[in-house]
């Protein structure tokens, strides 16, 4: 039996009630669709640990700061369902916007200082919208475990924090970033890149790895590491614009000036009209 498509909250809750009666552990993989090998890794982790696996597919309009970005975001539910079938998903929850937001929400999640830097600095309101929709999904599905990719490190840190702060009874599982052979992090937005842009996009990963090498060699000056790493972005490529490259505490997402332990090096790069993000965890001098 393949993955069952569910579009209403009421129907999903009915199906999950049956799973709970069978004492099944429920795993949730929240996505916005356009599934790729990175999502497959999340599904595989959930399938390994849980008896019932739910993949949600919902392009959340609240978290987009540009109408053209929301409009361009890839949507391919039929292909996504086929992938879910192939990897043993039990339920695909694909609600309409009106199902998730019958009225504009008056109550949202305030994520505080965790959104002050990195993507939060350049996308005001983005993370409170992400946290709000994730909290709604937790309320709807009531999973035992939920799976998120480490590529979205700031998102993962924020979700972990609000789950702890609000005593939400779900275990958050972070899954390592899946990459192309040349190191480019898999992303649904990669499909928006033209052939030449795809070749240029690897510059972000090269910059992050350059920072990691400097840190591993003993460089503790964060500003110097960032400056040398940013030099990996070709200045003569007009399709590239580095939005930020920062070195932050892995839990608080706050910038550091002196590197004295593990840090996360994170960056956002515009490749043409497509914004890509990536990060690496650097453990310090070896």
Active site residues: 39
- Distances from the Cα of 61 to the Cα of 9, 56, 111, 173, angstroms: 18, 15, 18, 25
For tokens 């990669």, name the residue: 190
Question: For the chain, how many helices (H) and strands (E)?
Answer: 11, 9
- Residue 250 has a CB neighbour count (10 Å cut-off) of 16
Residue 77's Cβ-count burial label (10 Å; 0-12, 13-18, 19+) is middle
- Distances from the Cα of 83 to the Cα of 27, 46, 75, 187, angstroms: 17, 15, 14, 16
Query: What is the Cα–Cα distance from 111 to 119, expressed in whole angstroms?
Result: 13
Query: Tokens standing for 199?
Result: 């070749």
- Distances from the Cα of 52 to the Cα of 3, 35, 38, angstroms: 11, 19, 20
Distance in angstroms between the alpha carbons of the first and the last residue of the chain: 50
């Amino acid at each position: 039996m393949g993955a069952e498509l569910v579009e209403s909250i009421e129907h999903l809750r009915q199906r999950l009630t049956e799973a709970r009666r069978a004492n099944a552990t429920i795993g949730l993989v929240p996505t916005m669709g356009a599934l790729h090998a990175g999502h497959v890794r999340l599904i595989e982790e959930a399938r390994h640990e849980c008896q019932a696996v739910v993949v949600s597919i919902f392009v959340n309009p609240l978290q987009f700061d540009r109408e053209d970005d929301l409009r361009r975001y890839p949507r391919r539910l039929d292909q996504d369902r086929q992938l879910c079938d192939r990897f043993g998903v039990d339920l695909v929850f694909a609600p309409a916007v009106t199902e998730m937001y019958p009225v504009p929400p008056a109550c949202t999640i305030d994520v505080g200082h965790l959104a002050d830097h990195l993507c939060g600095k350049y996308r005001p309101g983005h993370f409170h919208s992400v946290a709000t929709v994730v909290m709604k999904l937790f309320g709807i599905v009531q999973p035992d475990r939920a799976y998120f990719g480490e590529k979205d490190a700031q998102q993962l840190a924020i979700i972990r924090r609000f789950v702890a702060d609000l005593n939400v009874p779900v275990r958050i599982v972070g899954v390592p970033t899946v990459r192309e052979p040349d190191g480019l992090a898999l992303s649904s937005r990669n499909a928006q890149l033209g052939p030449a842009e795809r070749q240029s996009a690897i510059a972000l990963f090269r910059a992050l790895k350059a920072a990691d090498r400097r840190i591993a060699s003993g460089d503790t000056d964060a500003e110097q590491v960032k400056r040398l790493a940013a030099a990996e972005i070709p200045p003569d490529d007009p399709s590239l614009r580095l939005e930020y490259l920062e070195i932050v505490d892995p839990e608080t997402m706050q910038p550091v000036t002196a590197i004295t332990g593990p840090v996360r090096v994170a960056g956002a790069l515009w490749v043409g009209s497509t914004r890509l993000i990536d990060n690496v965890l650097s453990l310090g001098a070896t």
